[in-house]
Amino acid sequence: MTGPTAPDRLLSVLAAFDHEHPALCLTDISRRAGLSLTTAHRLVGALTEWGALERDESGVYHVGLRLWELAALAPRGLALRQIALPYLEDLYEATHENVQLAVRDGSDVVYIEWLSGRSAVGVHIRVGARWPLHATGVGLALLAHGDPRFQKEYCAGELASFTPYTITEPARLRRELAEVRRTGVAVSDRQITEDALSVAAPVRAADGTVAAAVSIVVPHADAQVPVLAPAVRVAARGISRALGWQPERALT
């Protein structure tokens, strides 16, 4: 069996950083990447020279701006966010609740934009955060419109639980996905926290495939899904049109 390749080792250094560990000393990088201190020192030096990492005056390393420059080129990242932002802002102004935009990455949903008011319900979300698809409104919207084979594999896998209300039964998840396709919106009720409910709708690319999902998160006690659903649909439809989707053509 061969060991890790040079690219594997470089990527392991970058993967040592996450939202819980945004700043690391060389020893921590070595430990989290599973590399010897000598190897970590060499790779960190190369990444720092290129700009992927930055070292502050105390000797602690952070992710560098060079990676942000590259990330800005991702069509499902900053570019999508810029197109969607006016519609997200309209949805926020109409509700003054948490508004989110997310895309699917494997079995997770990744949030690429989040607008929140000071009086909105607290959520465990930030730009770049990941959650399993089945536990969020945006995730359910993305999963429901994904490849049928992927849906089958996902439903057959382990479904993580976060509250007593999290969907953990495959049969129930399949029913939820069918309901999302029928109604055009996904509702996630107290799945991540017991005080929040989200309503989400899919965002379509020019070719009609679902590229993202937009949602609004409100306190569970005050949730009025029949009122929220049309507003979320309008925002998702506006973003879809801005991406080049033509619903009239999809019907012909």
For residue 121, give the DSSP letter: P
For residue 64, give the DSSP letter: -
Looking at the domain assignment, is residue 184 inside a domain? yes
| Sign of the Cα pseudo-torsion (80, 83, 89, 95, in order) | negative
Looking at the domain assignment, is residue 131 inside a domain? yes
Nearest to 46 by CA among 27, 61, 56, 28: 61
According to the model, what pLDDT value does residue 86 have? Answer: 94
Looking at the domain assignment, is residue 1 inside a domain? no
Nearest to 151 by CA among 180, 127, 123, 126: 180
What's the rounded Cα separation, in Å, for the pair 242 and 252?
20
Task: Give me 240's structure tokens.
Answer: 């879809």
Amino acid at 210: V
The residue among 37, 54, 70 that closes a domain is 70
Looking at the domain assignment, is residue 19 inside a domain? yes
- Range 194-199 average pLDDT: 92
Tell whether the model's pLDDT for residue 251 goes beyond 60. no
According to the model, what pLDDT value does residue 19 have? Answer: 75
Task: Give me 166's structure tokens.
Answer: 């999290």
- Range 102-129 average pLDDT: 78
**How many structural domains is the chain composed of?**
2
Q: Which domain holds residue 39?
A: 6-70
Bridge partner list, 104 = 109
According to the model, what pLDDT value does residue 252 have? Answer: 45
According to the model, what pLDDT value does residue 158 have? Answer: 92
**Residue 25 · residue 59 · CB < 8 Å:** yes
SS3 166: coil
Element (H, E) at 218: strand 210-219
- Is 21 found in the same domain as 141? no
- Is 189 found in the same domain as 165? yes
The CA-to-CA distance between both ends of the chain, in Å, stands at 54
| Sign of the Cα pseudo-torsion (134, 200, 178, 106, in order) | negative
What's the rounded Cα separation, in Å, for the pair 75 and 183?
28
CATH number at residue 96: 3.30.450.40
pLDDT band at residue 70 under the 50/70/90 scheme: confident
Tell whether the model's pLDDT for residue 1 goes beyond 70. no
Q: What is the pTM of this model?
A: 0.74
- Is 143 found in the same domain as 99? yes
The residue among 18, 47, 70 that closes a domain is 70
